[in-house]
Amino acid sequence: MNDLLAISEKPRIGVSACLAGEAVRYDGNHQQHRQVVGPLAELFELIPICPEVEIGLGIPREPIQLEQAGTVTRLVAIESRTDHTGPMQEFSQRTAFQLEAWQACGYVLKSKSPSCGLERVKRFDETGTFERDGQGIFAAGLQQHVPGLPLVEEAALEENSTRQHFIAQVEAFHRLRACLAAPWDAADMLNFHVAHRQLLESHHAIGYQQLETHVARIGEQKPGPFRARYRQQFLEIMGHPVEPRSAS
């Protein structure tokens, strides 16, 4: 993946490799998803990653699941009882750094997966019963180490509004990355902000007003801290779906 270090004109997104059609699942199959290999592949450069394979688990492999151990959620092999929590957490952190180096602007995750699921993943207790309230260990790491990175499960892409929201997030983040990567120029930063004013306000009016307050103090701040906070607030705003317009 060394070629990924080059800047891409097309936005890049990470994607669970099975969704891109790679036969990397525990049973040796794939779960190619039509929205991933169709519309998203046309718009974005896909970076397929299978966390379970990357931490050394084979194909095929023993199934794994989330288990509650006191106050900690573990990622455990069902039969051998091997605990994969630490390696998966370490891999998620490494991947977060790689995604930044690759200028990735989003990630599509496999739903219900104990590594990649964003929500409603089965979490078992010591009695063997489960609740659908877990989050995959890899997905949790991405949220922790790349705050604001647009994340979506493949199942949610079937809903047109959710798919369009994710696309808008990725495209906006791609433009933001290009702006922040350029040599510092306050005027260029302001031009970028003005160009995105209507988009940001449509997603979260209150958040946009808070960002406006930050931008108004651009002359009082050093470029590094200003950029870091602008990115954080920009991504938080874009994380909200477009707000419905009130009837006039």
Q: What is the mean pLDDT of the chain?
A: 94
Upstream peptide bond of 225 is cis (omega within 30 degrees of 0):
no
Question: CB of 120 within 8 A of CB of 131?
Answer: no
Q: Where are the domains of the chain?
A: 2-157, 182-238
Q: Which two tokens stand for residue 175?
A: 């433009």
Whole-number pLDDT of residue 246 = 57
Beta bridge partners of 65: 76
Greatest Cα-to-Cα distance within the chain, rounded to the nearest angstrom: 63
pLDDT digits (tens, 9 = 90+) for 146-188: 999 999 999 999 999 999 999 999 999 999 999 999 999 999 9
Other Cβ atoms less than 10 A from the Cβ of 159: the count is 11
Q: Give which of 176, 165, 187 is closest to 231, Cα–Cα.
A: 176
Return the structure tokens found at 35: 């929205």
Lookup: tokens for 92: 């998620």
Q: Which residues contact 205 (CB under 8 A, 6 or more apart)?
A: 243
pTM for the complete prediction?
0.93
- 64 and 115 Cβ atoms separated by less than 8 Å: yes
The per-residue pLDDT for range 199-241, each reduced to its tens digit, is: 999 999 999 999 999 999 999 999 999 999 999 999 999 999 9
> Is 148:142 a contact under the CB 8 Å cutoff?
no
